[in-house]
A and B are shown apart, each in its own frame.
Chain A
């Protein structure tokens, strides 16, 4: 018994130190990104090209039972300032096995606007990647821009988003995603903070440092030639965005991020919705880790810095079970009487550093984004993100346990659709009523504009 206990203690020590080293590396990365983004002018070079490079764009919108939101995105695209010339822009809405009124709504729009085309898919493989593949086959554009159905592109998004494609090395471009339903719940407010940190700080820092900004699968564009070169969309993938990001960079293409290309999304308003969302991300992302890690490390096109960033990107969701493992090891050390006593000063110092700064690093990213966006007031909710952090850690750990169990049994995992909280009501032609009803595109615009207005007022010193 004593020998077994000694072995357990030794193992706990090794695990604790290993976890600390890995998490310290992520900590350093987060701090570096935040500081670099805060204090470095960075690269904004493609922004100035907006409106001067206008390639033929095919906008792909895969939809499965999206009657609540279908009109909003199509109407937002109709209001886009991108030229509606038949040789400049087409929208391909893919009705993917819908059983509600999605198909009818899309057909109505196709009758109203010549640049809207509808693909009705009632057979074949289901899922976003398969729908995108069908849309891609029908597309004529040299750039494919993809939106999930619940996203609402900003008026100038397309111009900003396609500008970097003037650079022939660019294979994909990612825009900034901003929640429009902030204020509907505490969760949506916390996710607004998280998204701001992720895009304004992390994505922009990666872009500026010449690393690997992640193509996010929606509010992003991909060059048709690049997509064809890497084999198109992979219908096996749960997160086709991460999958495509990796295949593009491994194949020698660059990915750009444009902070000004804003798209408005509906973030989950319930914790159950959030759980399903991060479960899917964790599963798909980790699946990509297993498929792309070796090719990434062997790629002849990537610098060591880019490879390191790719490894961090692929391993991001593994930090959750590592943290859980670290908690378990610390508990064992505590009961072993070996926790934080003077003989353990180096370990103690390291864990203190991690607890004080390591955990703090991701919060520092969010704080930095609040400074850059001028959205200070909302950042006071930051301490509540600890609950979000614990929740994500537990959820991702559970999801990865499920993933590895399924993998051991040779099974594939199913895709979970995120809940929609909007209620379509013909808002496409709506006026103020849509705002007061809390529904429709006008309502989304008003909410997003209100968020933007608050920040803009700060910018002009009107917020006193």
Chain B
């Protein structure tokens, strides 16, 4: 048996040591294999001297990684995550300033202070539903529609503690409450009512897909990109933009401070936001580009639809960044699980 182990060890080491002379660029990203592999392939085609190595992890995990690796940075590029998280990275001195070639073509509100990060995609939240189980006339049209009795115990919610999008939606509700009443109480009451509608909190997109597809819930609040990707794979999912406006998260990219091979890293960043990069991910991964002046005829139809139908709700991002944590803690401690649910848990 020890001989077998030694052989395996040897094989492993050999494979490990196989370098090939290309410049490695390590990218930490939550965007997932499909998108990252696509971008890697296309970028390496244009730059065969660069080897893109991506590691797939949540944006929160990227932040922590970068903290630990501060003294010995492994990653060159942080690609993906809400700008709120990038802001924390910037405050922690983990990022290096870089204005990409396409830097002037995005909304300046999403750009980090001192050019520390730039928005690449816009991620709108939508109301999604199982179109086999929900008749077109029943589809909820706005946030408050989700609180109707029809949906009691039929709503699936991605756990807001784990999802930037959900936090943003929560922020939208609470922000609205603050603007209307000067207090978060009404917002929390709304969220409590939503809790009563909730069949399950899921933490994982795969579970959400399964549950929604199997009919364990009929309605959910989700990111547009995920809905479209699932639809493209045959899932019976439909979506609407909330009539009163939805949150749109700016999804950013940044150069890591002390990155190895910064030149190659910058080339990658340039590619991601370039015309080809943005169109590629729009076509194959359903990411809404942050770039404003892409050639209109090459933009896929669904993007044009989004630009037409989507209404963006105003959110005080600064306040969300300041008080979001406290709101989430309060929600977790005092609201989650308190709305009466069907069947209980």
Same complex for A and B? Answer no
